[in-house]
Amino acid sequence: MKGCAYFCNRAEKRWIQNGTYGGFMAATAQKLDRKEVEALVREVLRQKLSGVAGPQSNERHAADRRPGPPHPLVVNVSARHAHVTQEHLEILFGKGEKLTKMKDLYQAGEFASEQQVTVVGPRQRIIPNVRILGPTRNYTQLELSYTDGIYLGVDLPLKISGDHAGTPGITLLGPAGALTIPQGVIRAKRHVHMSTEDMAYYGVKDGDEMKLKIAGPCGVTFEGVTVRYHPKVVLEVHIDTDEGNACDLETTTRMELVK
Ligand SMILES: [Zn+2]
């Protein structure tokens, strides 16, 4: 498995940047008003004047022949979610339960399931409707934001998905039963999924750390974005809701992934 957790939150905070061209678009098509069109035209002109040729350029020069990125840069916010083993799924939802798909995620084969659990923290505070992401895995894991951790009273360790050494446990409630896991509660470390060709393009290897530069009214540079290799993924950065809100991903004007 890709060993990671992805979930696009309800607000569809997914943005795509077209590599060297510098344009960005929301994953869902939207109407552009006159002001936005003018801004886009200005940006294209600015790039031409500064020597960065866009795809519409008729000119043929060195910049045109530079290989572009193999995949567009996509940044998705992972809302809080759980991964479960088949055994734990059956404790929570009953014997023979199978995860049923609510929605496909960006990476092929990954999905948000219809099954949801309630998280019960040590101070009896609860977070309901925490979605399970499928398919089932060989471990059970709960991924929360630091804001969730403060609310619940859980000190969250920053971990790459699947690394449960020294992590706290928690209680999950499903319609058929309660499950207390001894460990597996984490705040997922920001990361970028890359295939072999993505790593070659950016000149990085599995485990390297990169910077994600986000421009906009709440612009920010995220450091320590861990490269996570899998042969069958497409380029995708995962940040959590705290990070997505900090940079107000919806108002992002430009994104860049650098070493
Ligand atoms: Zn991920």
- Taking only the tens place, the pLDDT of each residue in 204-251 is 999 999 999 999 999 999 999 999 999 999 999 999 999 999 999 999
Ligand 1 centroid vs 202 CA: distance in angstroms?
Answer: 18
Ligand 1 centroid vs 126 CA: distance in angstroms?
Answer: 25
pLDDT digits (tens, 9 = 90+) for 41-92: 565 455 544 544 333 333 444 444 446 788 899 999 999 999 999 999 999 9
Which pLDDT score is estimated for 15? 53
Ligand 1 centroid vs 81 CA: distance in angstroms?
Answer: 12
Ligand 1 centroid vs 100 CA: distance in angstroms?
Answer: 21
Ligand 1 centroid vs 78 CA: distance in angstroms?
Answer: 8
Helix (H, G, I), strand (E, B) or coil at 189: coil
Q: Kindly list the structural domains of the chain, giving each domain's residue range(s) and its CATH number in brackets, ordered by start.
A: 14-75+190-258 (2.40.40), 80-186 (no CATH)
Ligand 1 centroid vs 253 CA: distance in angstroms?
Answer: 23
Ligand 1 centroid vs 237 CA: distance in angstroms?
Answer: 7
pLDDT digits (tens, 9 = 90+) for 143-193: 999 999 999 999 999 999 999 999 999 999 999 999 999 999 999 999 999
Residue 125 and residue 171: Cα distance in Å, rounded? 11
What is the DSSP secondary-structure string of 147-185?
HHHHHHT----EE-TT--TT---EEEE-SS-EEEESS-E
Which pLDDT score is estimated for 191? 98
Ligand 1 centroid vs 139 CA: distance in angstroms?
Answer: 16
Ligand 1 centroid vs 50 CA: distance in angstroms?
Answer: 35
Kindly tell me if the per-residue pLDDT of 28 is higher than 80: no
pLDDT digits (tens, 9 = 90+) for 107-152: 999 999 999 999 999 988 999 999 999 999 999 999 999 999 999 9
Residue 170 and residue 120: Cα distance in Å, rounded? 7
Mean pLDDT over 22-50 rounds to: 50
C-alpha distances in angstroms, 13 versus 8, 142, 161, 250?
7, 21, 21, 6
Ligand 1 centroid vs 104 CA: distance in angstroms?
Answer: 14
Ligand 1 centroid vs 225 CA: distance in angstroms?
Answer: 11
Kindly tell me if the per-residue pLDDT of 100 is higher than 80: yes
Ligand 1 centroid vs 12 CA: distance in angstroms?
Answer: 16
Residues that place a CB less than 5 A from ion ligand 1: 4, 6, 238
Which pLDDT score is estimated for 5? 39
Which pLDDT score is estimated for 123? 86
Kindly tell me if the per-residue pLDDT of 39 is higher than 70: no
Q: What is the CA radius of gyration of the chain?
A: 20
pTM for this model (two decimals): 0.76
